[in-house]
Amino acid sequence: MQALSRVSHEHHDRLWQYVERLNAFADCLNSDCLDTSRLIERLPELRELHHGLTSLLIPHMEAVEAAVHPTLERLMAGRQVTAPMAREHDEVRRLVAAFGEFVEHPEAHEDRTAVLGLRRVLLRLYVLLKTHLSEEELYIPILEDRLTPAEEAALARALDHLAAERL
Task: Please report the DSSP string for 19-62 in residue order.
Answer: HHHHHHHHHHHTTGGGSHHHHHHTHHHHHHHHHHIIIIIHHHHH
Please give the pLDDT value at position 141: 92
Please give the pLDDT value at position 107: 76
- Nearest residue to 156 (alpha-carbon basis) of 144, 146, 145, 142: 144
Which domains can be identified in the chain, with CATH numbers?
3-166 (1.20.120.520)
pLDDT per position in the chain (167 positions), as tens? 468 888 888 888 989 999 999 988 888 776 666 566 777 788 899 999 999 999 999 998 998 999 999 999 999 887 888 999 999 999 999 999 999 998 898 877 677 788 888 889 999 999 999 999 999 999 999 999 999 999 999 999 888 855 555 54
> Is there a contact between 120 and 53 (Cβ–Cβ < 8 Å)?
no
How far CA 153 is from CA of 4, 20, 78, 104, in Å, comes to: 7, 30, 22, 40
**Whole-angstrom Cα Rg for the chain:** 18
Give 60's contacts (C-beta < 8 A, 6+ positions apart).
11, 15, 163
| Cα 83 to Cα 123: distance, rounded to the nearest angstrom | 23
| Cα 106 to Cα 47: distance, rounded to the nearest angstrom | 11
Please give the pLDDT value at position 1: 47
Render 59-109 in DSSP notation, one character per residue.
Answer: HHHHHIIIIIHHHHHHHTTT--TTHHHHHHHHHHHHHHHHHHHHHH-GGGG
Residue 78: phi and psi, rounded to 5, are 65, 35
